[in-house]
Amino acid sequence: MKRYDLYAHRKYPIIIIIIICIFLIIVKLFIIQIIDKSYKLSAENNTIRKIIQYPERGWIYDRNNTLLVSNQRGHDIMISPYQVESQIDTSFFCEIFQISKSDFLRRIKQAKQYSYYKPSIFIKNIEKNKFADIQEYLYRFKGFFSQPRYIREYNTNSGGNIFGYTSLISYEELLNNKAYDRNDMIGVTGIEKVFETKLKGEKGVQRKIVDVFGKYQGDFQNGKYDTLPKKGQDIKITIDIILQEYAEKLMSNKRGSIVAIEPESGEILCLLSSPSYSPKMFIGKNRSKNFRDLFIHPGKPLYDRSTSALYPPGSIFKLLNALIGLQEKKINPEQLIKCNLGWNYKSRLNIGCHEHKSPLNLNQAIAQSCNAYFCETFIKIIQDSPSKNLDKWKNYIESFGLNQTFQNDLYNEKKGFIPNAKYYDNLYGKKRWGAPTCVSLAIGQDAILMTPIQMANLTATIANKGFYRIPHIVKQDSLVEKMKCLIDSNYFEPVIYGMVNAIEDQYGTAKLGVINDLEIGGKTGTAQNPHGSDHSVFIAFAPISKPKIAIAVFVENGGWGSEMAVPIGSLCIEKYLLKNIQRKKLEDRMIKTKINY
């Protein structure tokens, strides 16, 4: 029997395989040379320079359409390390670009570490007028070229904490943002960070032919492969820049914060943190030095006190305890409570009070800020079942937006702190504490901590008689949702009446806040400070009939609330509502007052 030879016809499969391989090679060559242009562009990289066309970031306007932040044309100096000549005139280069030789060598090293062939930024953000002086010399330095970029331009020296700043994207952010590359700018703080996706725009690309010296010879294929950048979206913020600048002027040489809100809408009119800084400090060649100076400044200007600083509220907190006492029917507006220069508990605990007539009703107690009245009110609210009632009390407090962040468009907001029964259980043990233990909560001390924006929002809630809208800093197309507190609206009238008398009554603690032809409701606070002089606090709103502004002022180490915070707060109200200041002497005194820290 004849055996079948498996290898007799093997040449045919081999021929077929060879034909298929040749066919695939021809197809690939066709794709490379005819269809896919990327290989051609890559081969031409030695003569064609790809220039990123950076978009304009969106402009920022205030509530009155005043332009606050725009852009100016600037340039980055780029480097391609493989093109840099070994015999470069380093001294001349450093003279032109005003950098030291050590800085030059350090930047060269960094560029090579990144990539020997890919361009990277060597000097960033050269302003237009300065670039004009160096442009004519740039061709002498092979491997260096300019790349246009927009630089932020500010029309105000105020609002550094509001706008924030932009910077080159960090390595960590680059890992989480695939749409960016290492030469891109990104918002780091403030509005620039929160609204980065709206403001940044979209990049374009331009390809130019260059000669061996790096000089441009024209567009590559008449711009066939170029794309145009797309400008970022403009933003209108709720800030009144005139009020913001005025508040900053009043708070010069002082530390603290001023926050003002439009009660009906929740729009933030002023968001001041003092000491402040000019946003212009973060543009130009000195930005690194300026950042370092601000970072080590003892007043911590980079720390946004308006949203992040946690302060004891002091006597402004008495208004909340009055409202809870009324809601729980533990007090009534006409009820009289005695004050013997303070509140005493079995001769073992004493909370002092300033001298005033006694007994007082609710209106008088608010106007004259009587500690004894509100300590007694708090005891009545809590004493029957301290653990249960303190948690109920906390629920009332939180309904005013305290002990939480607003989840809004503000950057780096802190939630504050309101203690509950568990807090005191951990501190003293279960059933080992009672109402007198935490009676300091009655006057805004003990463990209570609030941010200035929470204080302003509390004021807006009282002005609205029981509701607030989430405070926000960017204009919305419609009103944001109402947030109602747990206090019935009818209980706000007697409290507001007391706030008016704090301003207008001869014994009121906020008498310096009187403004002719304008009815204001306010409450002073003096927050105890174990590290120095007490803090000065004031909240107010106006006009009473239809509130347009609710304000909170906190001056660190400012002493009595009536001493510093009241004049500053009332002047801000006067500036916003009346536009002109009538009390020039008071204004001048506040501007010139300096607190030594």
What digits encode the pLDDT tens for the residues 469-497?
Answer: 999 999 988 888 899 999 999 999 999 99
pLDDT more than 70, % of the chain: 93
* Secondary structure of 255-296 in HEC code, one letter for each residue: CEEEEEEECCCCEEEEEEEECCCCHHHHCCCCHHHHHHHHHH
Query: 203 and 260: one domain?
Result: no
Query: 421 and 496: one domain?
Result: yes
Query: What DSSP line would sit under 109-125, residue for residue?
Result: HHHHHH-SSS-EEEEEE
Residue from 178, 192, 177, 110 nearest 409 by CA: 192
Query: 175 and 275: one domain?
Result: no
Q: Quick check: is 297 in a domain?
A: no
Residues 6+ apart with CB under 8 A from 92: 137, 140
Q: Which range (20-29, 181-190, 306-315, 556-565) has the least confidence? A: 20-29
- In Å, how far are 79, 217, 522 from 44, measured between CA atoms? 18, 14, 72
Helix or strand or coil: residue 372?
helix
Contact, 205 vs 134, CB < 8 A? no
Query: What DSSP line would sit under 373-401, residue for residue?
Result: HHHHHHHHHHTTSHHHHHHHHHHHHHTTT
Examine the fold and report which residue of 236, 255, 278 is the final residue of a domain before the chain moves on: 236
Query: Exposed, middle or buried: residue 503 (CB in 10 Å: 0-12, 13-18, 19+)?
Result: buried
| Higher-scoring residue by pLDDT: 92, 268 | 268
Residue from 583, 582, 549, 560 nearest 259 by CA: 549
* DSSP designation for 413: -
Site of tokens 């008498």:
511
Which pLDDT band, with edges at 50, 70 and 90, does 8 fall under?
Answer: low
From the CB of residue 111, how many other CB atoms can be counted at a distance below 10 Å? 21
Q: Quick check: is 428 in a domain?
A: yes
Contact, 239 vs 434, CB < 8 A? no
> pTM of the predicted model, to two decimals?
0.83
* CATH number of residue 221's parent domain: 3.90.1310.10
Contact, 257 vs 597, CB < 8 A? no
Q: Quote the CA–CA distance of 163 and 191 in Å, as a whole number.
A: 5
Q: Quick check: is 534 in a domain?
A: yes
Contact, 316 vs 458, CB < 8 A? yes
What digits encode the pLDDT tens for the residues 65-91?
Answer: 999 999 988 888 888 888 888 888 888
Query: What DSSP line would sit under 52-67, residue for residue?
Result: EEPPPPPPEE-TT--E
Helix or strand or coil: residue 315?
helix
Query: 213 and 330: one domain?
Result: no
Q: Quick check: is 83 in a domain?
A: yes
What average pLDDT does the structure give for the chain? 88
Q: Quick check: is 151 in a domain?
A: yes
Query: 169 and 103: one domain?
Result: yes
Query: 411 and 505: one domain?
Result: yes
Residue from 230, 239, 245, 237 nearest 261 by CA: 239
Amino acid symbol at 262: E
Query: 322 and 282: one domain?
Result: yes
Query: 516 and 531: one domain?
Result: yes
Instruction: Indicate whether 45 pLDDT > 60.
Output: no
What digits encode the pLDDT tens for the residues 393-437?
Answer: 999 999 999 999 998 888 888 999 999 999 999 999 998 998 889
Q: Quote the CA–CA distance of 423 and 447 in Å, as a whole number.
A: 9
Q: Which alpha helices (H) appear in 409-546, and where do they start and end?
A: 421-428, 452-463, 492-504
Interior/surface letters 303-319, b for 16+ CB within 10 angstroms, e for the rest: bbbbbbbebbbbbbbbb
Q: Quick check: is 150 in a domain?
A: yes
Query: 221 and 339: one domain?
Result: no
Interior/surface letters 508-528, b for 16+ CB within 10 angstroms, e for the rest: bbbbbbbbeebebbbbbbbbe
Query: 142 and 245: one domain?
Result: no
Q: Quick check: is 18 in a domain?
A: no
The parent domain of residue 435 ranges over 241-291+306-592
Range among 66-75, 323-332, 335-344 with highest mean pLDDT value: 323-332
Residues 6+ apart with CB under 8 A from 517: none
Instruction: Indicate whether 320 pLDDT > 60.
Output: yes
Overall average pLDDT of the 364-392 stretch: 92
Examine the fold and report which residue of 236, 252, 268 is the final residue of a domain before the chain moves on: 236
What digits encode the pLDDT tens for the residues 282-311?
Answer: 887 788 899 999 999 999 999 999 999 999
Helix or strand or coil: residue 211?
coil
pLDDT of amino acid 1: 47
* CATH number of residue 370's parent domain: 3.40.710.10
Which pLDDT band, with edges at 50, 70 and 90, does 537 fall under?
Answer: very high
Query: 408 and 266: one domain?
Result: yes
Examine the fold and report which residue of 218, 236, 254 is the final residue of a domain before the chain moves on: 236
Q: Quick check: is 85 in a domain?
A: yes
Q: Which alpha helices (H) appear in 435-544, and where do they start and end?
A: 452-463, 492-504
| Higher-scoring residue by pLDDT: 98, 156 | 156
Residue from 312, 554, 355 nearest 442 by CA: 312
Query: 204 and 62: one domain?
Result: yes
**Count of domains in the chain?**
2
What digits encode the pLDDT tens for the residues 435-466?
Answer: 889 999 999 999 999 999 999 999 999 999 99
pLDDT of amino acid 450: 96
What digits encode the pLDDT tens for the residues 203-259?
Answer: 888 777 766 555 556 677 776 777 888 999 999 999 999 999 999 999 999 999 999
